[in-house]
Amino acid sequence: MTIKMPRRKFVAGLAGLGVALPWLRRPAGASTAPGPLNRPLVVTSKTNAFVREAVTTAAWEELMRGGSALDAAIKGTNVSELDPRDASVGYGGDPNEEGFLQLDASVMNGPDGKAGAVAALENIKTPSIVARLVMERTDHLMLVGKGALKFAKMHGLKEEDLLTDTAREHWRDWKENLSDRDYYMPPVDKDKPEGGGTINVLVLDATGDIAGCTSTVGHRFKIVGRVGDSPIIGAGLYVDNAVGAAGATGQGEESIKTCASFLVVEKMREGMTPRDACRYVCQRVVDRHNGRPMFSLKVVALNKRGEYGSAAVRGRADKATGKTIGLDFGVHDARGHRMEAGVALLPPLTEAELKTIPWR
Ligand code: ASP
């Protein structure tokens, strides 16, 4: 007896079993002609060498255990949130201007179109889990500040100090170097820590369901109460189960003004590849700033077929080599984890230009 199975499900099933099929291989955004399905698939914005592989692997393993796309997106995000070495997400992140952390996060689930978010959440290591609880256990979409903390504790999340010694030192160095007209003095001329680094995790499961999660400390040394794009659905994250998902990192204010993630998904809906859609949105941002934006914004995306891509307004110059960094993004599919190259529209800001930006 022959079992009739639609080709789509057959491919998805094989990929779900971790079978690497050579004909599934296709470079990101390489062509507008539809290629074969590449499911399941995990995509992350994370570039830090110490967490990026662990992030996509945790999400992938969750899918292999039978978890949903949303379970996987949050599992991957938790790796970054809980790792104290990651200065831009969750526990151990760099604090705001007063030396404490206020975290932002969002989740969006393709199958039911639901979303949840928290902003300016203090003392909880995993804001993505609280964002999911807001989505699943309330009729609201976003909780902020004290209310978000109360709600997290109501669901059993532990209140903890998120400031590590390293992050405290980053903050103290920043304060000491702020001005030569106060009473703080830096002991030595130190390198500033790298900026940015929000995590987006986008997941497409073997059956074509899509979910995403975004989590961040926001801008280091930000004004108390500042909220960026990460918890704003449509800006830092957007998922449409019929089309794909996108997430943004970098200058949150610009991502909000451009509805960056929503626009990427809309451009994919019109037929653009993920990479072209990301590039389109970055170009829109560059144009809004007369070709000279003094910041970066990076978007990553995947579509329902399992194609993926990323683009940025610009990368960063590596101090040691002068090479442009920060454009790559993490992928995990049936071939395993790897970093893929994104595209940049502009060269990195120079040292002199960087000095004019307050938060750097
Ligand atoms: N997009 C984040 C924010 O504006 C920060 C970042 O990704 O660097 O809060």
Q: Within 6 Å (CB) of ligand 1, which residues are found?
A: 196-198, 216, 218-219, 228-230, 249-250, 252
Q: Indicate the SS3 state at residue 35.
A: coil
Per-domain residue ranges of the chain: 41-354
Mean pLDDT of the chain: 89
Annotated catalytic residue, options 47, 56, 57, 198:
198
Q: List b or e across 330-355, with b for residues whose CB sees 16 or more CB atoms inside 10 angstroms.
A: bbbbbeebebbebbbbeebbeeeeee
Q: Indicate the SS3 state at residue 350.
A: coil
Report how far ligand 1's centroid is from the alpha carbon of 307 (Å).
25
Q: What digits encode the pLDDT tens for the residues 88-115? A: 999 999 999 999 999 999 999 999 999 9
Query: Which ligand 1 atom is nearest residue 198's CA?
Result: 7
Average pLDDT over every residue of 13-38:
48
What pLDDT score was predicted for residue 4? 39
Instruction: Inform me whether the pLDDT recorded for 27 exceeds 60.
Output: no
pLDDT-derived band of residue 5, with 50, 70 and 90 as boundaries? very low
Residue type, 202: L
Report how far ligand 1's centroid is from the alpha carbon of 155 (Å).
27
Q: What digits encode the pLDDT tens for the residues 151-185? A: 999 999 999 999 999 999 999 999 998 888 888 88
Instruction: Inform me whether the pLDDT recorded for 347 exceeds 70.
Output: yes
Q: Distance between terminal CA atoms of the chain?
A: 66
Report how far ligand 1's centroid is from the alpha carbon of 28 (Å).
25
128 contacts 107 by C-beta, under 8 angstroms: yes
CATH superfamily entry for domain 41-354: (Glycosyl)asparaginase (3.60.20.30)
pLDDT-derived band of residue 21, with 50, 70 and 90 as boundaries? very low
Candidate from 104, 215, 219 with most ligand 1 atoms within 8 A of CB, to mutate? 219
Query: Which ligand 1 atom is nearest residue 252's CA?
Result: 4
For residue 294 the two structure tokens come to 């003094």
Report how far ligand 1's centroid is from the alpha carbon of 358 (Å).
14
Does residue 72 or residue 182 have the better pLDDT?
Answer: 72
47 flagged as catalytic? no
Q: What digits encode the pLDDT tens for the residues 243-276? A: 999 999 999 999 999 999 999 999 999 999 999 9
pLDDT-derived band of residue 140, with 50, 70 and 90 as boundaries? very high
Residue type, 345: L
Question: In whole angstroms, what separates CA 129 from the centre of its chain?
Answer: 15
pTM: 0.89
Candidate from 249, 259, 329 with most ligand 1 atoms within 8 A of CB, to mutate? 249
